[in-house]
Structure 1
């Protein structure tokens, strides 16, 4: 049976990440507070931002920007969107 975590994005118990997704304390914090579902959704959002905004991941300011966007995403605050992106209808 999978472990669960109280997800800060969805405010409910959901499947936990199997390991920290980032190195260090930040990765540990994410593993304790973010569900696997929320992390996968963030990964898709991050990929859209990187591709559409032509972000350079070698640039420290880009990494800082993405970390800020990640925190906003998990806290259900408004985040930047890729221009022209239309979420799929359910």
Structure 2
């Protein structure tokens, strides 16, 4: 049986991450409060943000921005919009 966690994004018990996805206290917080499903969804959004906004994660301000957006995502707050992304649901056939 897999471990579960009360996910703060979905407000219910879901499958937990196997290990902390980040170092330090922030990683431990994510491990204890974020489900595997929510983390995977965040990784997809994070990748799109990094690509569209051409972030350089070697720069402290880029890392700070990503962490702020991550907190917003897991707390169900509005994250920055990605202008280049078109949802498959929004595409109509010609």
Band of TM-score, shorter chain: over 0.9
Which runs of 5 or more residues in structure 1 are unaligned?
A: none
Q: CA RMSD in A?
A: 0.8
Which runs of 5 or more residues in structure 2 are unaligned?
A: 90-94
**Structure-2 separation of matches of 1:7 and 1:88:** 27
Larger gyration radius, structure 1 or structure 2: 2
Normalised by the length of structure 1, the TM-score is: 0.95
Partner residue in 1 for 2:54 = 54
TM superposition outliers: structure 1 runs of 4+ over 2 Å: 86-89
Normalised by the length of structure 2, the TM-score is: 0.91
**Structure-2 separation of matches of 1:88 and 1:32:** 33
